Structure 1
Amino acid sequence: PLTKAFGWTISQVTFAFTLAILMLCFAAFSGGLWMRKVGPRKVAIAAGIFYGLGVFLASFSAGHLWWLYWSYGVLAGIGLGLGYIVPVATLVKWFPDRRGMITGLAVAGFGAGALITAPIASRLIASIGVLKTFAVLGIAYFIAVTGSALFMRDPPPNYQPAGWTPTAAQKKERTARDYTLREALSTWQWYALWALLFLNTCAG
């Protein structure tokens, strides 16, 4: 729709998404560090503000490609990164007995959101135009994410699910000690995991 409305090329428009993914990378990293200090709720609220505001401001990008990059690419991208890290990191603390399943569900939910919003966005674009659609979705995202953020909190210290006692194998899955960021960056496992996620993103 943007290419038809303003004469931009597909590569010019899709660069906004590329920029958003780049900002997701940096925001998820910094958001994870921030969340250790302030907890998941504040980070999730910030995610809703950045993403909702970024998408909403994209509605003012008529004829101004740089504004699309700034609003959707940078601001919304930061919101994506902050919003991605919060549920994944928080859920594994609440469900240590189901780490694999709960992480999979969280990541699947992140991707499955497009299945819901894509047809809604298509109908909105057809009825009110692409720019007004940005405005409507921006407001909706802000309300949905910040509203959900109010329920985000870490479990109490030494929490474990009722009736669950970790097995020897589950205890062994944890390292003997927690690593600092500097220490983690000196291990090959960190780079192997980073490469895996990098290639996963490159694949789409």
Structure 2
Amino acid sequence: MSVVAEYRISFLDYAARLARSRGVRRLAAQRRRREAPRIACFADDDIGAQILAHGWYEDLLLRALFEVFLRDRAAAFRDGAAVDVGANVGNHTLWFARRFARVVAVEPNPICTHLLQASLLMNGVDNVHLLALGLSDAAGERTFHADLQGNLGPLGPDRGTRRIGDAQLPGHGRARRRRARRGGPDRAAAAVDQARHRGP
């Protein structure tokens, strides 16, 4: 049997491959029309799938929040700072970066921090400061585990997940003292999601 015969595929298989490729190109064109940034993510991650399908994760919520409810504060936001706690791959971080002078993104998951750094580079974003650490009410170091088959966001010492690394937990009091020394931003918005420190 020849090599060509071994790799022969049916017309339907080939047509399905072409259709999937065209679908991905249509999604990319749709993202560009919506002026969504390029966000590094995984297609089989819950948030990544939404980003690939719509250009943003929670885009309808973010639009309603900033274009309706917080519309009157847009000018103040342009001079202020936002804090994205549990930044994941940086979807909200990139959204905030377009609306605030400064953004601080906090994310302990090393996979997500690398994807977020790639997104910042791809989009030429320079007003984001990424802190690759976790937040807690007590200082220390914590081993985090993540479900690498579904949503990368939730972290914790849960069973059935894979160890992805250790995160520094600077502690609530220390962060407060540091902010007081620097004077802290006058105006800040915070997005806090489920990537919190959980006890053993």
Range class of TM-score, shorter chain: under 0.3
Structure number with higher relative contact order (C-alpha < 8 Å, ≥ 6 residues apart): 1
Query: As a proportion of its length, which structure holds more helix?
Result: 1
Query: As a proportion of its length, which structure holds more strand?
Result: 2
TM-score (normalised: structure 2): 0.24
TM-score (normalised: structure 1): 0.24
The structure having more radius of gyration, on CA atoms, is 2
